[in-house]
Amino acid sequence: MSTTSQVYHFPVQIYYEDTDHSGVVYHPNFLKYFERAREHVIDSERLARLWNEKGLGFAVYKASLVFQDGVLFSEVCDIRTSYQLEGKYKTLWRQEVWRPRASKAAVVADIEMVCLDREKRLQPIPGEVLEAMRLPPLP
Alpha carbons 119 and 98: distance in angstroms, whole number: 37
- Tens of pLDDT, residue by residue over 49-78, are 999 999 999 999 999 999 999 999 999 999
Residue 6, pLDDT > 60, answer yes
Q: Could you list the residue range(s) of the whole structural domain that residue 63 is in?
A: 8-132
Nearest of 2, 74, 56, 64 to residue 30 by alpha carbon:
64
Full-model pTM:
0.91
CA distances from residue 57 to 24, 32, 52, 63, 89 in whole angstroms, order as listed: 32, 17, 9, 17, 11
Structural domain contains residue 123: yes
Residue 42 lies in a domain: yes
CATH of the domain at 74: 3.10.129.10
Q: How many domains is the chain built from?
A: 1
Could you tell me if residue 138 is inside a domain?
A: no
- Domain annotation covers residue 139: no
CA dist 101 and 103 (Å) reads 7
